[in-house]
């Protein structure tokens, strides 16, 4: 879904904390997000070790991003790491990402920066070592979006849907912020507006409305997981046709009576 909305491409990943065990999380094997199927998802410890997976299966090298954030933030239930084109100018320039419209308030009051050079010097810019993931989690702190210098961004949420909502709309906000800088001086939301708009937009109504819309777009493009497509096909097969109902419920036509002539 996040890939279909233009945030993820061949790289990046989304995870969720295990619904039955807070000390584990669920994440796909190493694969382009838009290609991920249910069978690609594996279970990991918070140390980012696979619980039960064949040694031949290749995992994301940066999975420590997820594990270390789950360790540091018990209330976080989902994490997305991306390199969205809308965010990259801010990752490169160091310009702050601020909310500039109501849905952008889901970024929160601040999106802090994390510069890998500060703690680790010259690296390949990937977050592979647990210490690197822990450093990123500290930079995120109590916030929901952290901007990674020369790399991308990482987003957290109190549910999977919230994380997806925040990821997509924080990217939309970054697009509008850049466009506003090109034509004038942006007027960002103030702290009270951010607080109020964030609380409203993360309510069940707005999140469900957006989720339904993204599901519809994905379904129209044939991108829904196989299990859902199978259920939908089964439901269509089980549903009686209108013609069948009509035939079954139609009353028997009366036979035409012939008039008897009097003799």
Query: Catalytic: which of 5, 43, 62, 193?
Result: 62
67 confidence band (pLDDT: 50, 70, 90): very high
156-215 confidence digits (pLDDT tens): 999 999 999 999 999 999 999 999 999 999 999 999 999 999 999 999 999 999 999 999
Assess whether pLDDT exceeds 50 at residue 150. Answer: yes
Instruction: Write down the pLDDT at residue 52.
Output: 87
For the question of residue 49 being annotated catalytic, the response is no
Q: What is the mean pLDDT of the chain?
A: 90
Q: What average pLDDT score do residues 239-243 get? A: 48
Assess whether pLDDT exceeds 60 at residue 254. Answer: no
Instruction: Write down the pLDDT at residue 235.
Output: 53
Q: What average pLDDT score do residues 82-110 get? A: 97
192-208 confidence digits (pLDDT tens): 999 999 999 999 999 99
Assess whether pLDDT exceeds 90 at residue 77. Answer: yes
Q: Identify the bridge partners of residue 153 per DSSP, sorted by sequence position.
A: 82, 147
256 confidence band (pLDDT: 50, 70, 90): very low
Instruction: Write down the pLDDT at residue 232.
Output: 54
What is the 3-state secondary structure of the chain? CCCCCCCCCCCCEEEEECCCCCCEEEEEECCCHHHCCHHHEEEEECCCCECCCCCCCCECCCCHHHHHHHHHCCCCCEEEEECCCCCHHHHHHCCCCCCCCHHHHHHCCCCCEECHHHHHCCCCCCCCCHHHHHHHHHHHCCCCEEEECCCEEEEEECCHHHHHHHHHHHHHHHHHHHHHHHHCCCCCCCHHHHHHHHHHHCCHHHHHHHHHHHHHHHHHCCCCCHHHHHHHHHHHHHCCCHHHHHHHHCCCCCCCCCCCCCC
Nearest CA to 107 among 160, 180, 157?
A: 157
Instruction: Write down the pLDDT at residue 225.
Output: 76
**Residue with the larger pLDDT of the pair 248 and 220:** 220
Report the DSSP pairing between strands 24-28 and 13-17.
Answer: antiparallel
Structure tokens at 160: 């999977």
> How far is the C-alpha of 137 from the C-alpha of 169, rounded, in Å?
22
Report domain 13-228's class.
alpha beta
């Amino acid at each position: 879904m996040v890939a279909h909305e233009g945030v993820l491409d061949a790289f990046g990943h989304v995870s969720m904390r295990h619904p039955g065990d807070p000390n584990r999380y669920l994440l796909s094997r190493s694969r382009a997000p838009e290609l991920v199927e249910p069978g690609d998802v594996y279970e990991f410890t918070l140390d980012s070790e696979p619980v039960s997976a064949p040694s031949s299966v290749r995992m994301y090298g940066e999975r420590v991003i997820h594990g270390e954030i789950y360790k540091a933030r018990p209330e976080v239930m989902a994490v997305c790491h991306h390199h969205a084109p809308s965010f990259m100018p801010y990752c490169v320039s160091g310009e702050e990402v601020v909310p500039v419209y109501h849905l952008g308030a889901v970024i929160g009051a601040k999106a802090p920066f994390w510069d890998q050079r500060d703690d680790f010097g010259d690296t390949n810019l990937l977050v592979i070592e647990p210490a690197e993931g822990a450093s990123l989690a500290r930079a995120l702190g109590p916030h929901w979006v952290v901007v990674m210098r020369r790399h991308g961004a990482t987003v957290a949420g109190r549910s999977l849907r919230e994380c997806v909502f925040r990821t997509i709309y924080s990217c939309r906000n970054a697009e509008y912020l850049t466009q506003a800088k090109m034509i004038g001086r942006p007027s960002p939301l103030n702290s009270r507006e951010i607080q109020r708009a964030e609380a409203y937009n993360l309510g069940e109504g707005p999140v469900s409305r957006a989720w339904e819309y993204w599901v519809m777009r994905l379904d129209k493009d044939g991108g829904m997981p196989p299990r859902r497509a199978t259920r939908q096909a089964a439901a269509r097969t089980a549903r009686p046709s209108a013609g069948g109902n009509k035939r079954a419920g139609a009353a028997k036509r009366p036979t035409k009576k012939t008039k008897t002539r009097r003799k």
